Structure 1
Amino acid sequence: MQLPDLEAWAIFARVAELGSFAAAAEALGITQPTVSKAIARLERRMGTPLLHRTSRRMSLTAAGEAAVERATRLLAEGEAVEAAITAQAVSPRGHVRMAAPMSFGVAHLAPLLPTFMSRFPDVTLELALSDETVDLVGGGFDLAVRIGNLDDSSLIARRLCGVRILLVGAPAYFERMGRPKHPRELATHRGLTYAYAKPGAAWRFHHPRQGDYSVGVPSVLRANNAEALTPALLAGMGLALQPEFLVWRELRRGALEVALPGWQPPEIAVHVVMPPGRGRPARVQALIDHLARRLAQAPWAAEA
């Protein structure tokens, strides 16, 4: 099936409206020969003249009269589509689907959304929370917030801020089990571990003078949500490597303390990732920029 020559019909509509090839060419910002070729192309395709042309005037043939109303509607629809897209680019509108980890999404993303919604009332949001890694393309997501080191992939990624990982425990734990002075001592301590970390993975630390050290820590509790470890931490049941955004309030009030000062676990980061090969709508870019600005100001955020 041959597609209709929409460009030529639009040119025909403007010629019919303005009454000359020259006027139509000027209005459309194209050359007069381009107008002539478009009309000739239509007439060959239709097998009949659309315009009567003399040296003094131009008029529509019967076929032209029959076609002009619909051609004018085609031109108007095309102009309306472009106007709508241009308006959206200037003023974001439409729907955005975003995925994020559960605890981070509840505690740190959801509170940022009301100000975005107030600023962009024509954008609607959908937030899907799960600690599992979602399929952006298969799930129809516009973006996802991910925390940690990103695997190599075709996804487009933007780093929003850094996150310190801290080894923490309750004062009651240190009173009962002692306070480790070197990572090697952790082999005799009790670990509270995140289930999405690799099973049996060693805890890694870096010291500016003493270098790197890795140690296996016996796990007494594993959970697939890092926030679920907090009650056991506060009860003095063990030590955990936790992102600072989960424990900064408890650290501030003294309910938790940092173990092994000077030994720093590897830092991670908050990224936003997007499907590959898509243009980025204004509504998505506006949300990303909003999150980047606000997260950079968080009391727990390290440099982006």
Structure 2
Amino acid sequence: MDRLQNIETFVRVAQTQSFAEAARQLRVAKSVVTTRIKQLEEYLGAPLFHRSTRVVRLSELGQAFLGDCMELVGRANDVVDHMRDARGKPAGTLRVHALTGFVVGHFGALLREFQTAYPDIRLELVVSDAVVDPVKAGVDCALQIFPAASTELVSRPLFAVRRVFCATPEYLAQSGMPDNPRDLHEHRLGLYSGYPTRDRWTFYDGNGAELTTYLQAALLTNSVHLLREYALEHAGIVCLPTLVAGEAIREGRLQIVLPEYQLSSFRLSAVYAGTLRNAFKLELFIEHIRSAFTRVPPWDAGLIDAGLLPEKLIEA
């Protein structure tokens, strides 16, 4: 019996609450997971899980056992990674879940540079706007703008994500430029569906005074890239993160609406389990992102230099 391998399998089943999902993440047959758990239970002399056709939950022994096992697996993987690094070759697979809005247009060069520096690290990148628990999703970290879903997760801020309302000059010439956030009610709006404030929008004027209004979307979607295409078709006013809209704004294809007002910004963060396997490889990856995107990301720096964005941020 490979005790460490069986303990790692136990941790994965406990985290996912599923033998089938643990098998998928470990890339083995479900029968292999079942055998490993059975071997561990026979060695301990007691069940680790209560199982039914629909539910897998920890037994009292399993609950007492889990914390130490997570720490043991994380430490074992970290030791191996450091041994590889001592030989100059960090290796293995790193699994990352990332927002579509961040990845498309900004991530290719970063990945190339990371793999040039660490050629033996294999990346598995899942791209989606869904908010995930990295543990249950079977990834080492999630790059997201929303808070960690659990106190057991660590959230490392990477950079600010600003948002602006914008439209094409053609649309604004035909439909008029809003002077006040409440004027948005008179326009066709395209809005992102995933913001936690939902229909409630708070604007800040140059003095920091707040104005809150409720906005109804003509197009509500979880794709910021679709919103950009919708705006470029002169269909209406949309709210976009500057990392998606910045290039079109600099080129004059989109124009910022209500430039005297700001929306609060979010933080793109790396979210991961506190007791993590692959911790060393993940630290290398996170530091690579942090060094590539300094305090002011390049898509914002160009807009600030052009006087299209204020330098000061308003944090959510």
Specify the TM-score bucket, using the shorter chain as the normaliser.
0.5 to 0.7
Aligned with residue 88 of structure 1, among 81, 84, 90: 84
**Given that residues 88 and 282 in structure 1 are in contact (C-alpha distance below 8 angstroms), is that contact kept between their aligned partners in structure 2?**
no
**Given that residues 245 and 300 in structure 1 are in contact (C-alpha distance below 8 angstroms), is that contact kept between their aligned partners in structure 2?**
yes
C-alpha distance 174-291 of structure 1, shift in aligned 2 (>3 A): same
1:197 aligned partner: 195
Give me the whole-angstrom Cα distance separating, in 2, the residues matched to 1:152 and 1:213.
32
Q: TM-score, normalised by structure 1?
A: 0.67
**Given that residues 188 and 217 in structure 1 are in contact (C-alpha distance below 8 angstroms), is that contact kept between their aligned partners in structure 2?**
no
Look at both structures and tell me which one has the larger radius of gyration over its CA atoms. 1
C-alpha distance 281-198 of structure 1, shift in aligned 2 (>3 A): closer
Deviation at 1:156, TM superposition (A): 0.4
* Moved segments of 4+, more than 4 Å: 81-86, 148-152, 301-304
2:267 aligned partner: 269
* 2:107 aligned with 1:109: yes
1:299 aligned partner: 298
Deviation at 1:135, TM superposition (A): 2.6
The residue matched to 1:300 in structure 2 has which SS? helix
May I ask how many residue pairs the two structures share in their alignment?
225
1:120 aligned partner: 118
1:182 aligned partner: 180
- Listed as ranges, the gaps of 5+ residues in structure 2 are 4-76, 302-312
Identity %: 26
C-alpha distance 84-249 of structure 1, shift in aligned 2 (>3 A): closer
Deviation at 1:110, TM superposition (A): 3.1
Give me the whole-angstrom Cα distance separating, in 1, the residues matched to 2:186 and 2:78.
67
1:164 aligned partner: 162
**Given that residues 101 and 243 in structure 2 are in contact (C-alpha distance below 8 angstroms), is that contact kept between their aligned partners in structure 1?**
no
Give me the whole-angstrom Cα distance separating, in 2, the residues matched to 1:233 and 1:284.
37
* 2:219 aligned with 1:221: yes
Q: Once superposed, what is the RMSD of the aligned Cα atoms? A: 2.7
**Given that residues 163 and 243 in structure 1 are in contact (C-alpha distance below 8 angstroms), is that contact kept between their aligned partners in structure 2?**
yes
Aligned with residue 239 of structure 2, among 234, 241, 251: 241
Deviation at 1:152, TM superposition (A): 6.0
- Listed as ranges, the gaps of 5+ residues in structure 1 are 4-80
Matches within 5 A, 1:200-211: 201-209=199-207, 211=209
Structure 1 residues 198-252: Cα deviation after superposition (integer angstroms, max 9, x where no partner): 5961222111326111222331112221111112101221111110000111001
C-alpha distance 103-209 of structure 1, shift in aligned 2 (>3 A): closer
C-alpha distance 210-135 of structure 1, shift in aligned 2 (>3 A): closer
**Given that residues 190 and 238 in structure 2 are in contact (C-alpha distance below 8 angstroms), is that contact kept between their aligned partners in structure 1?**
yes
Deviation at 1:172, TM superposition (A): 1.3
